[in-house]
Structure 1
Amino acid sequence: MDFISIIFLAFGLAMDAFSVSITRGLSLKCNIKYALIIALSFGVFQALMPILGWFSGMHLQSIVSTLAPWIAFLLLLGIGLKMIYESFSTGGDDTCQIFSIRELLILSIATSIDAFAVGVTFAILNTSIITPIIIIGIITFILSLIGVYIGKNIGHLFENKIEILGGLILIAIGFKILLENIRF
């Protein structure tokens, strides 16, 4: 796979993490430290999942191609519903709202499941994985950091409706992943 194709692949894989970063940035009322944690988590998982896919290779290809979209959908649906539920709870203070570690891990995994499938594809095509994982991780990190920044800077315009919007976006991403990958 040539360098330009890897760049485009990395941008495509990073779009889910970018979208989720925007939704979290919408309700983020903290400093750059938390934006870096979010971006680092998404970048690391986007880089690690192709490695796992690579090692799984052809042995798990049929299982991965069948279950991965459903797993991603269910994880994003759960987090999205949780965000919507939390939007109706009393709150609205200016305290720092960040991911719990569990929530961050779930979102990192859910947004990088397609990268796992790419790793399986690399194994099938007998493609080197080192350069792609570095590029995928860096691009995802940068786009996620930008996403949190964008969300944080427009979040004040919407006040308490942000959690609902974020939840709906996560659910929509889950449906998108499911519809793009299941066969009827």
Structure 2
Amino acid sequence: MNPVSILLLGFAMSTDAFAAAIGKGAGMARPRLSQAMRAGLIFGVIEAITPVVGWLLGRGASRYIQAWDHWAAFALLLALGLHMIWNGVKPEADEPVDETRKHGFVGLALTGLSTSIDALAVGVGLAFVDTPIAVVAVVIGLCTFTMVTLGIMLGRVLGAMVGRRAEVIGGIILIGVGAVIVYEHLSA
């Protein structure tokens, strides 16, 4: 693969994470740049690891992984999306919400993992091509870091315009990303 192809692959792998980040940012009260960068780092590291794992698995089990990757991504995104929608429509509690817990490491990591299942499948495919997987993984991770950081900040603007129900929009976006993953796989 040439450098341009690797860069394009990096941005292609980060688009679903970008959409999920817009949803996450919309659900946050007022995300700061440091919070956006933290989310970008979590997503980026996960997105960089998954193609390497896929590449390792692809050495012997590619047909098994490609058979279920889209369903796993859809199930995770559906569950996270429904959870976000529920949080957006349930009555407000009288006590203040702990934003660090609501958008903490585990929630971000699960969302990052669910949007990186396609990178796992790409890694499987790259196992059969003479590709420097470490370079590809770093590029994918950096592209995802950048796109998620921007997505969180864009979600902040969207959240300010839409208000408390922005989390519903974020949940719908996550479910939509999952549906697109399944659609692309089934129509290919």
Where on the TM-score scale, by shorter chain, does this alignment land: which range? over 0.9
Q: Residues 142-181 of structure 1 correspond to what in structure 2 (within 5 A)?
A: 142-181=146-185
* CA deviations over 1:139-174 (Å, ceiling 9, x no partner): 110111011111112311101221111111110100
- Runs of 4 or more, structure 1, over 3 Å off, are 92-98
1:42 aligns with 2:43: yes
Deviation at 1:48, TM superposition (A): 0.4
* Match in the other structure for 1:11: 11
1:82 aligns with 2:83: yes
Deviation at 1:131, TM superposition (A): 1.4
CA distance in 1, matches of 2:88, 2:24: 13
Question: 5+ unaligned residues in a row in structure 2: which ranges?
Answer: none
8 Å CA contact 1:66–1:182 kept in 2: the answer is no
Q: Secondary structure at the match of 2:31?
A: coil
* CA deviations over 1:56-112 (Å, ceiling 9, x no partner): 114221111111100000000000000111112233868636423332221111111
Deviation at 1:128, TM superposition (A): 1.5
AA at the equivalent of 2:39: I
Number of residues paired by the alignment? 184
1:137 aligns with 2:138: no
8 Å CA contact 2:31–2:152 kept in 1: the answer is no
Question: 5+ unaligned residues in a row in structure 1: which ranges?
Answer: none
CA distance in 1, matches of 2:159, 2:187: 37
Q: Secondary structure at the match of 1:91?
A: coil
Quick check: 70-79 or 122-131, which moved more? 122-131
1:121 aligns with 2:111: no
* Match in the other structure for 1:96: 99
Give the alignment's TM-score, normalised by structure 2: 0.91
